[in-house]
Amino acid sequence: MSAQATQRKISTRESPGVTLVLVTVALIYLVLFLGLPLFAVFYEALSKGWTLYWKALQEPDAWSAIKLTFIAAGIAVPANLVFGVAAAWAIAKFEFKGRSLLITLIDLPFAVSPVVSGLVYVLLFGAQGWFGPWLQAHDIKLIFAVPGIVLATVFVTFPFIARELIPLMQSQGKEEEEAAVSLGASGWQTFWRVTLPNIKWGLLYGVILCNARAMGEFGAVSVVSGHVRGMTNTLPLHVEILYNEYNFVAAFAVASLLALLALVTLLVKALVEWQAKSSGDPLH
């Protein structure tokens, strides 16, 4: 891309003045909307010094929020990983009726508001939901409890890995797998030794994005959580509680952890893209 930029003929370039204006406008826009907020999170978190920052992070409620965030992501990401691989195997390696409908249905959670994603589980499992009376009779609590949070997280991160793997595996075709099978390899052997090495970068890419969303989800989790401090609060919900209590240093301290997660996500994502490109299997 950059080589192309240098080769561009003078007739297809803008005047230096126009170029300068465009670059300036773009950078001001990005600094104002991306750079400044990112900087502000860390600035506010540390505005009263490191001691208060550490203290905010060592609160038992903060710890239980960290734990619950890891539990939710720790279940949602592997579950959606297994699903993504299965869906991509069926859709990319076989031809059957209704394939494109299936792809559309897999994308559905992206089309729904996070709040609605939480709402649907309340309708099913809430006190006045379809299964509410039955669950109450058996003393099972899903909504306003950890299982509801996990379910909502699984829902909002549902398409991430599948939609990364489906186009990738479609573009790779199925000749390699067919060769392996015709040489006597079993299905699992074929998958582990042929398919998986081919899709590893796409898989990692999907897992990173899925994880970032799983740990950062707010709206859906907020609806099903019930906001019990130290019990059903994930990190983003904990940020909200602290902020609404005007405990800004603590709110931004916890928020800085999530911002750090975002930065690590972007870094790993860029590395994976670069790795995939240099190993000759571009992701897109």
Partner 1 sequence: MSHFKAHSVLPGFNLALGFTLLYLSLIVLIPLSALFFKTATLGWGGFWTVVMGERVLASLRVTFFTSFVAAIINAFFGLIVAWVLVRYRFPGKRIVDALVDLPFALPTAVAGITLAMLYAPNGWVGQYFAAHDIKVAYTPLGIVVALTFIGLPFVVRTVQPVLADVESEVEEAAASLGAGRWDVFRRVIFPAIYPALLTGFALAFARAIGEYGSVIFIAGNMPYISEIAPLLIVAKLEQYDYAGATAIAVAMLLISFALLLFINALQWWSSRRGTR
Site for partner 1 in 73-112 (CB under 8 A): 82-83, 86-87, 89-91, 93-97, 102, 105-106, 108-109, 111-112
Binding residue (CB under 8 A) for partner 1 from 57, 124, 145, 231 = 124
In the complex, minimum distance from the CB of residue 239 to partner 1, in angstroms, rounded to a whole number: 5
In the complex, minimum distance from the CB of residue 241 to partner 1, in angstroms, rounded to a whole number: 10
Rank residues 63 and 110 by Cβ distance to partner 1 and give the closer one: 110
Tell me which long-range contacts 246-254 makes (C-beta under 8 A, separation of at least 24).
Answer: 248/44, 249/44, 249/45, 249/47, 249/48, 249/52, 249/53, 249/56, 250/56, 250/59, 250/62, 252/41, 252/44, 252/45, 252/47, 253/45, 253/52, 253/53, 253/56, 253/57, 254/56, 254/57, 254/62, 254/65
CB 225 within 8 A of CB 237: yes
Binding residue (CB under 8 A) for partner 1 from 19, 104, 136, 171 = 19
d(CA 198, CA 276): 10
Query: Residues 190-209 vs partner 1: string with x where CB under 8 A?
Result: xx-----------------x
Encoded tokens for 244: 């609404």
The residue range among 28-36, 59-67, 197-205, 275-283 that interacts with partner 1, by the rule CB under 8 A, is: 28-36
Query: Residues 35-74 vs partner 1: string with x where CB under 8 A?
Result: xxxx-xx--x------------------------------
In the complex, minimum distance from the CB of residue 115 to partner 1, in angstroms, rounded to a whole number: 4
Helix axes 50-58, 248-278, angle to 10 degrees: 90
Instruction: Collect all residues with Cβ–Cβ distance below 8 Å to 121 and sequence separation of at least 6.
Output: 142, 143, 148, 151, 152, 155, 224
In the complex, minimum distance from the CB of residue 121 to partner 1, in angstroms, rounded to a whole number: 6
Q: What is the DSSP letter of 131?
A: S
Does residue number 126 form part of the binding site for partner 1 (CB under 8 A)? yes
In the complex, minimum distance from the CB of residue 153 to partner 1, in angstroms, rounded to a whole number: 11
Binding to partner 1 (CB under 8 A) within 153-172 occurs at 154-155, 158
- Give the number of other CB atoms < 10 A from CB of residue 111: 9
Rank residues 50 and 96 by Cβ distance to partner 1 and give the closer one: 96
Does residue number 148 form part of the binding site for partner 1 (CB under 8 A)? no
Number of residues that bind partner 1 (CB under 8 A): 109
Give the residue from 140, 128, 148 showing the smallest Cα distance to 228.
Answer: 148
d(CA 250, CA 248): 5
Binding to partner 1 (CB under 8 A) within 230-269 occurs at 235-237, 239-240, 243, 248, 251-252, 255, 258-259, 261-263, 265-267, 269
Binding residue (CB under 8 A) for partner 1 from 149, 199, 215, 283 = 215
